[in-house]
């Protein structure tokens, strides 16, 4: 496949050593899938009567892969609305939106209707679903699919997002923006997406989607949820778009956990540790500060200029006097307070530059070669010799080695933090993206303490769902 050169350059920069695996993915087979319509059938009935070779889609209870020899688009079941032919990946956004019967929902960029009909199935005929499409020809196709799938509580509109939001100000409980995008994730399936791709298109889509999101924000009811999705890899359209939106709309926050901000659960765990004299949330975000006020959590405002968590903790040390400062990441709500007992000493260490980190032993080979995990090598005294995203040591012919990774729980003396602030970042630290290297490279000891208590960094919707389920059980 002749992929655009600018696209390949960007993906190589983004993926690093995973780039070759990414390229190889274009040589693999294409999965095809369909989604059952629960208004006209159920899983048991369909799997009994279906003439197709079906395999379940993991993230959608009504989703199935079918084999290359199957032709569900030509079967009468398709015309009868028994199922909708839809990419398995396209089934994921609606699941994360968690639509419930009785909700008021807007699908703002709805054609041809895959997500709209999936939302309609979840609503069970209760509530209101507005399916909007700005292009008249595509709106007609959308209307046909909504009708074919038997949705009785859906209305198809053909309006601009801006104009629609003026008619429905602060109205919807849930809004889906499956945005028009540069379609980089569609290269293998859609030759047209490959033919039209250019960096100018990426910029154009990013600008368009920013306007669409602003309109969606105006139509969302207080306390509602807005879900944004694309089928592209371009940061300008993805994480960059989300970051820019949050800057324009400080009233919005990323998804919470069981109705409370994620930081609430981290703060709650830390407060349960008797060894800690005080717990403070360090932030430069007024939205987090507001959450702290709402839930009576102590906080301190810091500069927005810090590029590492350690830099932020240093600033805290200049404002709050203490012998030792324990750093806990705000995206790890499953922290076990027993882990704090392992890293917090009973007496003040003699080393004025004392630094310690908790590590977890990795049990699966896939974790070892995962470059998001920062591996450590220690000497006999459990002092860190090297930090690397690569598996070091790398035993020849095997991964039969006990690897450890750094966790988000780290301990610093006040003088160690001052040293960190005063010492420039080295080339090696920049390469490994780990601020512990600053101490190791300059001759200061970093103590690695193995912890059996594992946590989950919430980086994806899957992580969020897992954490929510675990905390729900504890509550």
**What's the Cα-to-Cα distance from 154 to each of 127, 137, 169, 392, rounded to whole Å?**
9, 18, 19, 57
Neighbouring CB atoms inside 10 A of 58's CB total 9
Across the chain, what does the average pLDDT equal?
90
Residue 208: the pLDDT is 96
Residue 475: the pLDDT is 61
pLDDT at 457 over 90: no
Give 46-57 pLDDT, tens digit per residue: 999 899 999 999
Residue 397: the pLDDT is 62
Tokens coding 359: 């590590």
**SS (HEC) of the chain:** CCCCHHHHHHHHHHHHHHHHHHHHHCCCCCCEEEEECCCCCCHHHHHHHCCCCEEECCCCCCEEEECCCCCHHHCHHHHCCCEEECCCHHHHHHHHHCCCCCCEEEECCCCCCHHHHHHHHHHCCCCEEEEECCCHHHHHHHHHHHHHCCCCCEEEECCCHHHHHHHCCCCEEEEEEECCCCCHHHCCCCHHHHHHCCHHHHHHHHHHHHHHHHHHHHHEEEEEEEEEECCCCCCCCCHHHHHHHHHHCCCCCCCCECCECHHHHHHHHHHCCCCCCCCCEEECCHHHHHHHHHCCCCEEECCCCCCCHHHHHHHHHHHCCCCEEEECCCCCCCCCCHHHHHHCCCCCCCCCCCEEEEEEECCCHHHHCCCCCCEEEECCCCEEEEEECCCCCCCCCCCCCCCEEEEEEEEEEHHHHHHHHHCCCCHHHHHHCCCCHHHHHCCCCCEEEECCCCCCCCCCHHHHHHHHHHHHHHC
Give 142-190 pLDDT, tens digit per residue: 999 999 999 999 999 999 999 999 999 999 999 999 999 999 999 988 8
* The 63-66 sheet, strands edge to edge: 54-56, 63-66, 32-36, 83-85
pLDDT at 327 over 80: yes
- Taking residues 258-268, report their average pLDDT: 85
Residue 35: the pLDDT is 97
Give 68-112 pLDDT, tens digit per residue: 999 999 999 999 999 999 999 999 999 888 899 999 999 999 999
Cα–Cα dist 9/13, whole Å? 6
Residue 331: the pLDDT is 80
- Taking residues 38-50, report their average pLDDT: 91
Residue 114: the pLDDT is 96
Among 181, 231, 273, 292, the one annotated catalytic = 231
Is 231 one of the annotated active-site residues of the chain? yes
More confident residue, 76 or 455: 76
pLDDT at 460 over 60: no
Neighbouring CB atoms inside 10 A of 266's CB total 24
Yes or no: say if 121 and 37 are a contact pair by the CB < 8 Å rule. Answer: yes
- Closest CA relative to residue 57, chosen from 24, 110, 95: 95
Question: Which pLDDT band, with edges at 50, 70 and 90, does 258 fall under?
Answer: confident
Q: Which residue's structure tokens are 């909700």?
A: 103
* Beta carbons within 8 Å of 457's beta carbon, 6+ residues apart: 329, 331, 332, 408, 463
Residue 27: the pLDDT is 86
First to last CA, the chain: 51
Q: Which residues are paired to 128 by β-bridges?
A: 104
The dihedrals phi and psi of 252, each to the nearest 5 degrees, come to -95, 150
Yes or no: say if 316 and 282 are a contact pair by the CB < 8 Å rule. Answer: yes
336 CA to centre of own chain: 23
Residue 459: the pLDDT is 59
Residue 398: the pLDDT is 61
- Taking residues 112-124, report their average pLDDT: 96
Domains and CATH numbers, the chain: 1-27 (no CATH), 31-85 (3.30.70.1170), 89-252 (3.40.50.150), 262-461 (3.90.550.10)
Cα–Cα dist 217/249, whole Å? 8
- Taking residues 402-416, report their average pLDDT: 92
Yes or no: say if 172 and 104 are a contact pair by the CB < 8 Å rule. Answer: yes
- Taking residues 17-23, report their average pLDDT: 89
Residue 252: the pLDDT is 79
Give 266-285 pLDDT, tens digit per residue: 899 899 899 999 999 999 88
Cis previous bond, 112, omega within 30: yes
């Amino acid at each position: 496949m002749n992929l655009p050169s600018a696209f390949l350059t960007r993906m190589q920069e983004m993926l690093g050593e995973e780039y070759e695996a990414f390229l190889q993915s274009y040589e693999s087979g294409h999965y095809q899938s369909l989604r059952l319509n629960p208004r006209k059938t159920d899983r048991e009935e369909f799997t009994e009567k279906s003439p197709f070779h079906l395999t379940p889609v993991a993230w959608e209870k009504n989703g199935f892969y079918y084999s290359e020899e199957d032709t569900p688009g030509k079967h009468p079941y398709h015309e009868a609305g028994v199922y909708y032919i839809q990419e398995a990946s396209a089934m994921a956004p609606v699941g994360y939106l968690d639509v419930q019967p009785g909700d008021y929902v807007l699908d703002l960029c709805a054609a041809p209707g895959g997500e709209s009909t999936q939302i309609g199935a979840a609503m069970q005929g209760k509530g209101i679903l507005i399916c909007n499409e700005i292009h008249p020809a595509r709106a007609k196709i959308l209307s046909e699919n909504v009708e074919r799938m038997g949705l009785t509580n859906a209305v198809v509109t053909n309006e601009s997002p801006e104009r629609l939001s003026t008619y429905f100000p602060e109205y919807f409980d849930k809004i889906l923006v499956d945005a028009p995008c540069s379609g980089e994730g569609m290269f293998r399936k859609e030759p047209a997406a490959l033919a039209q791709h250019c960096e100018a298109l990426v910029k154009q889509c990013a600008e368009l989607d920013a306007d669409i999101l602003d309109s969606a924000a105006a139509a969302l009811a207080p306390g509602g949820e807005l879900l944004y999705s694309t089928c592209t890899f371009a940061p300008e359209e993805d994480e960059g778009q989300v970051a820019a939106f949050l800057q324009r709309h400080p009233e919005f926050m990323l998804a919470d956990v069981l109705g409370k901000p994620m930081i609430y659960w981290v703060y709650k765990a830390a407060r349960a540790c008797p060894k800690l004299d005080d717990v403070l949330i360090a932030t430069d975000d007024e939205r987090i500060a507001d959450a702290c006020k709402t839930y009576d959590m102590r906080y301190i405002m810091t500069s927005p200029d810090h590029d590492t968590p350690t830099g932020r903790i240093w600033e805290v040390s200049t404002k709050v006097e203490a012998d030792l400062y324990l750093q806990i990441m705000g995206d790890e709500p499953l922290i076990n307070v027993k882990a704090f007992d392992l890293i917090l000493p009973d007496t003040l260490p003699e080393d004025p530059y004392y630094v310690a980190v908790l590590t977890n032993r990795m049990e699966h080979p896939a974790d070892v070669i995962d470059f998001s995990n920062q591996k450590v090598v220690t000497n006999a005294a459990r002092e860190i010799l090297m930090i690397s995203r690569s598996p070091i040591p790398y035993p020849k012919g095997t991964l039969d080695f006990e690897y450890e990774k750094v966790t988000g729980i780290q301990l610093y003396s006040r003088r160690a933090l001052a040293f960190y602030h005063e010492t420039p970042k080295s080339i090696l630290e920049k390469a490994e993206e780990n601020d512990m290297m600053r101490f190791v490279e300059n001759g200061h000891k970093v103590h690695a303490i193995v912890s059996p208590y594992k946590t989950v960094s919430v980086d994806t919707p899957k992580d969020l769902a897992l954490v929510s389920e675990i905390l729900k059980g504890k509550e």
